[in-house]
Amino acid sequence: MAGLVIHLQNILRLVVKELRSIRADPVMLLLVVYAFSFAVYTVATGVKLEARDLTIGIVDEDRSEFSRTLLGAFGPPLFKISKRIAPGEIDSEMDSGRLVFVLEVPPNFQADLQAGRQTSLQLNIDATAMTQAGNGAVYIQQIVAQEIANLQAGRETTTALPINLVVRARFNPNLDSGWFSSVMQVLNNVTLLTIILTGAALIREREQGTVEHLLVMPVTPVEIMLAKMLANTLVILVAAVASLVLVVEGALGVPIAGSLPLFVLGTAIYAFTVAALGILLGTLATTMGQFGLLAIPVFVVTQLLSGATTPMESMPVWLQWTMRTLSPTPHFVAFSQGVLYRGAGLDVVWPEIAKIAAICAAYFAFALARFRKVIFT
């Protein structure tokens, strides 16, 4: 028992030392503050997945009442520019980027529709902006279908349907991508900055030679490693919670549906896991530059294949299995979405927490073995 108390006291003192080192590094502190405040806000408000302010040109070779009505249907706020253009202007307008969509209405289109003859419209799309092009094409198809239905019905109403389809979007009723991107940005920052802070703390001591001071002190490798991981996990945890409360919920107005203490618990376990990964990368690199070159591809791969950017279900089965086995990030994303978006409780998300903890144990054991070999031999 006395030995355990001594170990805990050593860890506490080392944690305080690490926190003072972080406080003495204003650049790193500024990075943490920026990443969890301004960066989260700008990503949520500036990076929109919805199609807005689209530009469309209509090549009207029909010159009918329907084509004139169709031009009027493409108005704000969805479309900021809708105009008639000549057939010879299609290439120049799209090549210059002034128009993203061009809809060609062939001659006698309205007459063919009313006579029941087969006809077609051609929609040209600038697909260099894939999200805008894909979503915009769906909106245009819906608008055209609505106008055709109105024409065939002979009035400005839709044809009566035998059912009443009521659509309710749960957890994000306005389908605002900012609700999604703001929370995902916080999760991404937890991963990135925990790796950077923990690995940089180790590399900095190795470069400055202060790690030798620890070697002559009555502390063990486990105590040193735990102190670095706990101190940086604590800093990231405080920053992430403050970002959720002040930026996401306060400034952006995104409701947090679930329990904040439960999110803190899961995030603490995840950040501790990623801190072990930061220590591991720090033992593989000898300089800060090498550490950065190692950390960047690790972060990019874990984030792109975590389910935060694209759905896990869209990936090959073998890749899904690999990521869920080797990386804690997919489990953390699933846990966070369940708690923050859907208000899930511990009875729902405990499997994800358990998986993160299991991966944490493996990461910690591997990182500790490397830490002992590189630092203490």
The percentage of the chain sitting over the pLDDT mark of 70, rounded to a whole number, equals 94
Task: Write phi, then psi, for 362 (nearest 5 degrees).
Answer: -65, -45
Q: Give me the mean pLDDT over the 179-202 stretch.
A: 92
Residue 62: band (very low, low, confident or very high) from pLDDT cuts 50, 70, 90: confident
In terms of Cα–Cα distance, which of 277, 246, 196 is closest to 32?
196
Report yes or no: 140 and 101 within 8 Å, Cβ to Cβ: yes
| DSSP-derived pairing of the beta strands 101-105 and 54-60 | parallel
Stronger pLDDT, 116 or 281, i.e. the higher one:
281
Residue 49: band (very low, low, confident or very high) from pLDDT cuts 50, 70, 90: low
Please state the domain extents for the chain. 2-46+176-375, 54-153
Residue 248: how many CB atoms within 10 A of its CB? 24
Across the chain, what does the average pLDDT equal? 86
Q: Measured between alpha carbons, how far is 77 from 48 in angstroms, rounded to an integer?
A: 14
Q: What is the pLDDT of residue 157?
A: 47
Going by CATH, does the domain composed of 54-153 fall within 3.40.1710.10?
Answer: yes
Which residues, other chains included, contact 368 with Cβ-Cβ below 8 Å and sequence gap of 6+?
Answer: 221, 222, 225
Q: What is the pLDDT of residue 336?
A: 94
pLDDT tens digits, one per residue of 3-37: 778 878 888 888 888 888 888 888 888 999 999 99
Q: Measured between alpha carbons, how far is 262 from 353 in angstroms, rounded to an integer?
A: 10
The three-state secondary structure class of 141 is helix
